[in-house]
Amino acid sequence: MTTTTVVEGWTELPLARFIQQSSARLVVIMTPAGQVLAQHGFTRAVDLMSAAALGAAIMASSGALAQQVGEAGFAALYHAGQRHGIHLAGTETPRGKLIVLTVFGKETSIGLVQVFFDEFVVALRKAAPVDEPRKVILAADFENELNSSLASLFRR
C-alpha cells in the first residue's frame, strides 16, 4: 500500500490531487537543501532521504551549469528510463523555493505529468501560508530537524 505523508499540512491537498491526476508512483516535495515537506510512495526513510538529497543535488548542479551558459536556471529536468521516468522541477512559492521530484511509470507519460505539474504548482502557491516564513535550519539543529521530519513522515 502506497502512502502519502506530509510534514507541512498545506502541501497535502495539492499533492493528493497531483498524485491522483498524474498517476505518479513517487513524489517528494522538498526545499533546495533537501529538507522533505511531503512525500508519496516511499516506505523506507532511508530511500526517501536518499532521493531528496540526490534530487536537491541534481537541481543545484544543473542550476550551476545553467549559470555557466548564461541561463538563470533550468525550469525542469526529465530523465526517461526503460520502466520509469523522472521529472524534477523547482518552483517559487510564498514559502520559498521548493523542488518537486516525481517518478512515474508506463501507466502515464511525461506529457501528462507536465500538464498536471503546472496545475500542482498553481495549487501549491495558493495553499502556501504567506505570513509564515520557513525558519532557517542551523547546522547544529540539522539532525534534530531531520529526525523530526522523518518521525512525521513515517509516523515513528
Partner 1 sequence: MQRSLDRLSRVRGVTGSMFVAADDGLGVAQLLMEGVNGKVLAAFAASLARKVSGAAAATGAGKVRFIQMQAAGGILLVCAGGELLVTVVADAGVNVGLARLEMMRAVEALAQP
Nearer to partner 1, 60 or 110 (CB): 110
Nearer to partner 1, 77 or 150 (CB): 77
Binding residues with partner 1: total (CB under 8 A): 8
Kindly state the smallest distance separating residue 103's Cβ from partner 1, in Å.
16
Site for partner 1 in 106-135 (CB under 8 A): 108-112, 114-115
- Backbone phi, then psi, for 145, in 5-degree steps? -60, -45
Judge whether 120 and 91 are in contact, CB under 8 Å: no
Q: How far is CA 66 from CA 41, 75, 117, 121, in A?
A: 31, 10, 22, 22
Judge whether 91 and 82 are in contact, CB under 8 Å: no
Kindly state the smallest distance separating residue 109's Cβ from partner 1, in Å.
4
Instruction: Identify the CA nearest to 22 among candidates 96, 93, 100.
Output: 100
Considering Cα of 135, then 141, then 145, then 148, what sign does the dihedral take?
Answer: negative
Site for partner 1 in 32-71 (CB under 8 A): none
Nearer to partner 1, 70 or 81 (CB): 81
Kindly state the smallest distance separating residue 154's Cβ from partner 1, in Å.
33
Q: Name the residues that contact partner 1, by CB under 8 A.
A: 80, 108-112, 114-115
